[in-house]
Amino acid sequence: MTTTRDLAGLDLSPVTLERLDALDSLVRRWTEKINLISPATVPDLWTRHILDSAQLWPLSPVGAKAWADLGAGGGFPGLVIAILATEAGSPKVTLIESDGRKCAFLRTAVRELGLSALILDQRVETAPPQAADVVSARALAPLATLLPFVARHLAPGGTALLPKGRDHAAELDAARTAGWRFEVEAVPSRTDPAARILRLTGLAHG
């Protein structure tokens, strides 16, 4: 059962754990029909996707009211964050995704899991700016390409939480070379020793 699984040290209610298990089942079923996640990761879905997403939650600033997940895809981390936010009572979670089939899955998941998340079926570069306290994006683009989208949707003083792989240091260098300024904390991932979650604050360009 879920209660025996590692979930980033979070103390969660039985209802939240049931929702995460239901998300696991939904993703497995839909991945048989559309490419929500890589089929190679399905056997290890809990660690590779659910835990990998849940570990962002404790890194979010206290009092955050709005969270935007860019390129939400199969719902990671956005749906996991929305599940955790339901128990906490905030923040409001918005998932932005341009693939219509994936949006259909996201809306189904929100409905079946009893979440209040908003799904925007739009491209991140044209969606209305969200002024979110937290912006996340997982496997969407290299950092230098990603940061203009993050800046579009991030509120002044907000925090970006961006999971990155073994090339995170090179991506940081490339972003700085492209004129981006920020404070960064590279938090070790609980699911991949070579990966980091980049916690960016003070994001600015030029």
Binding-site residue numbers are 71, 76, 124-125, 138
206 contact partners, CB below 8 Å, separation of at least 6? 179, 181
Burial 11-24 (b: 16+ CB within 10 A, else e): ebeeebbebbbebb
| Rounded Cα–Cα distance for residues 115 and 117 (Å) | 6
Q: Are 195 and 165 in contact (CB under 8 A)?
A: yes
Binding residues for S-adenosyl-L-methionine: 71, 76, 124-125, 138
3-class DSSP assignment, residue 184 = strand
Question: Running DSSP on this structure, what letter comes out for residue 129?
Answer: P
| Rounded Cα–Cα distance for residues 167 and 139 (Å) | 12
Residue 160, token pair as written in the block:
């970006």
Element (H, E) at 108: helix 100-113
Q: Are 179 and 163 in contact (CB under 8 A)?
A: no
| Rounded Cα–Cα distance for residues 191 and 134 (Å) | 22
